[in-house]
Amino acid sequence: MTESMLLGTDAPLNTVFDAALVDLDGVAYRGPHAIPTAPPALEAAREAGMRIVFVTNNASREPGEVAAHLTELGIPAAEHEVLTAAQAVARLAREQLPPDARILVVGGKGLRTAIDAAGFTRVESAADAPDAVVQGFAPEVSWRELAEAAYAIQAGARHFASNLDLTLPNERGIAPGNGSLVGAVVNATGIVPVAAGKPEPAMFHQAAANIGAERPLAIGDRLDTDLKGARAAGVPGLLVLTGVSSAEDAIRAVPEERPSFIGADLTCLEEPHPAPVREGDAWRVRENVARVVDGRLEVHGPAGMDLLRAACAAAWGAVDRGETLSTFSIPELAVWSSHE
């Protein structure tokens, strides 16, 4: 391997790409509070000419509510700049079901509104003989609703899920996500649903098409959804370390989940991203060097994002050559935003 899967730019990301497809939880905000660096970074991106679409696997709220919430947090957004997994799963169901299909919705207001807008007939229980169950996250989803979904699927209804995120970060920690609730239904039925949200590529293609983007950049905090989806969609992906996935997670990322760029937070949109360069058995990013020796990752240079970039290139290259990276061989890497 002579090239890293990490890309490089000589100019700031917010001038290289014409649009940002931005995840919400763990990127723009965490729980009820904006991530402090997010509002000014997104404002600077708009001023540089980037168009913004907020692409979220959360299906519980309507796009207008999401836009209003972002605006209250100091991140001005319009309804048409929000694409939710509820909208995506409604469109997926529309493609696969007859227009007069009966749908049992397990989820929040945002999902119900999206199903209604797609022209389906909503029913309230398995006794109403639904053609499909469409399931999305909402904090108020109860055991009774999960049970009704299981009864309907056992009776022959198809199962659609807005997304399969196992966890949901908030201000108190990591909570169960829609994938965990879907798992309860799958455990009862043995039927795996068709999912619409990330990491499926459809949301990225849909979001870019909605604004006519030619050079979109997908931004997320989770390797298994945001970055895997970006790879699947053929869209460069930026991992920010303000949510679920950590620096160590990035170093250990499997090929289909690897980001094209890594930053501490959204302020990295205002910066060039130097590409790792291979030098013999090592990888260099400016004065930072990393290599894998006998299964151990060795790094040299000042702590920061460039050192992490070099470490990722070295680790990925070694693993792709068939080497085993020792479980305890990754040093702690201090990373931070240069704007803090």
Mark whether 25 is an active-site residue: yes
Distance CA 314, CA 284 (A): 9
Query: Which of these is catalytic: 25, 165, 224, 306?
Result: 25
Express the helix, strand and coil content of the chain in percent, nearest 5 each.
35, 20, 40
**Tokens found for residue 18:** 């014409």
Q: How many CA atoms lie within 13 A of 69 on its CB side?
A: 17
Helices (H) and strands (E) in the chain, counts: 11, 19
Query: Which of these is catalytic: 18, 23, 128, 281?
Result: 23
Mark whether 165 is an active-site residue: no
Q: At what angle do helices 202-211 and 85-96 cross, to 10 degrees?
A: 110
Q: At what angle do helices 109-117 and 85-96 cross, to 10 degrees?
A: 40
Distance CA 109, CA 135 (A): 12
Distance CA 242, CA 29 (A): 9
**Tokens found for residue 78:** 């319009």
Cβ(283)–Cβ(292) under 8 Å? no
b/e map 286-307, b = 16+ CB within 10 Å: eebbbbbeeeebebebeebbbb
For residue 172, count CB atoms less than 10 angstroms from its CB and return exposed for 0-12, middle for 13-18, buried for 19 or more: exposed
Would you name the residues annotated as active-site residues? 23, 25
